[in-house]
Structure 1
Amino acid sequence: MSDTPFPLESTPAEAQATIAEEFAYFGDWSERYQYLIDLGRKLPAFPDALKVEEHRLLGCQSMVWIVPSGDANRLDFAAASDSAIVSGLVFLALRVYSGRSASEIVATEPDFIAAIGLAKHLSPTRSNGLSALLAFIQDHARSALVA
């Protein structure tokens, strides 16, 4: 899974600022949802062989699979979802966190969620799923720091 496009920006803070700028361009949430769907289509291909229970993220109503790789110096995450909007949320999370050191990941709060108004515009099940995804990434980074 070394064909990851992440990180797109040089720091997590820069990634979050860019996400906020991109979403500010859109006037309403129907356009923002469409942009989320478009972002989800940019996720790298995720092999069907990895879409197994072992890699399934619990806490999501949609099917989400995530596979971490690397060590404390650089953690990469490959992920996919069967939902178009959730795929976009996955893309945003990977844009901020994938390809970073474990210490950068642990030190980075997901400020982009509030910055673009996601918390107010996601259903409770999608919010729970996004929280589960971010918790998985943070937990994996903390484990890598201890290892």
Structure 2
Amino acid sequence: MPNQLVPNLFGNEISSDDVLDLFAQQSGWEARYRQIIVLGKQLSELPQVFKNEEHQVDGCESAAWLVSREQAGVWQFYVASDTRIVNGLLAIVLAAYNGKTANQINDFDIESYFDQLGLSKQLSPSRANGLHAVVQAIKGVAV
């Protein structure tokens, strides 16, 4: 994979703690939903060359693509979807996993993270399944 084609995730890196703080500042699910969309807009555009079957995540209702790169034991993930809300949800997942080692990725309690954000109660079963498919794809490459 050519490095020059892989975009940065955000202008500034964002962590799972940052996302938790952002969500704590929102009152109600509607405000959190808007925040998810804002986070999705902050994702860099994934070049079209990566939007193919090789990078498509199986199990997502909406089209979603995942590109990964490991450098010096640290993983970077790049994602895209064809919907705004899914892009935001993918940004939340990347905040948890980008810049981490394989051990940190596999040790991170993603269910607790989703619960703290209120996602577990608010997402439709198909969206939740898609989000978990992305998590499994990330864990599948970060070994």
Instruction: Name structure 2 gaps, 5 residues minimum.
Output: 1-5
Say if 1:17 and 1:112, in contact at 8 Å, map to a contact too.
no
When residues 97 and 121 of structure 1 are mapped into structure 2, their CA distance, relative to the original with a 3 A threshold, is: same
Q: From the superposition, tell whether residues 117 and 51 of structure 1 become closer, same or farther in structure 2 (CA, over 3 Å).
A: same
Give the residue type in structure 2 aligned to 1:129.
G
Q: Percent identity?
A: 34
The separation in 2 between residues aligned to 1:34 and 1:99, in whole angstroms, is 26
Tell me the TM-score normalised to structure 2 length.
Answer: 0.88
Superposition pairs of residues 1-147 of structure 1, within 5 angstroms: 1=6, 3-5=8-10, 8=13, 15-71=15-71, 73-110=73-110, 111-142=112-143
After superposition, the Cα gap between the structure-2 partners of 1:31 and 1:4, relative to the gap in structure 1 and judged at 3 Å, is closer
Unaligned runs of 5+ in 1: 10-14, 143-147
**Partners in 1 of 2:43 and 2:25 — Cα distance?**
22
Question: Counterpart of 1:36 in structure 2: which amino acid?
Answer: I
Which runs of structure 1 show a deviation greater than 6 angstroms over 4 or more consecutive aligned residues? Answer: none
How many residues get paired?
A: 137
RMSD across aligned positions (CA): 1.8
Mapped to 2, the partners of 1:50 and 1:29 lie a distance apart of 33
Instruction: State the TM-score, normalized to the length of structure 1.
Output: 0.85
C-alpha separation between the residues in 2 aligned to 1:104 and 1:31?
30
Instruction: Indicate conservation of the 8 Å contact 1:71/1:102, yes or no.
Output: no
Mapped to 2, the partners of 1:6 and 1:73 lie a distance apart of 22
**Superposed displacement of residue 46, structure 1:** 0.4
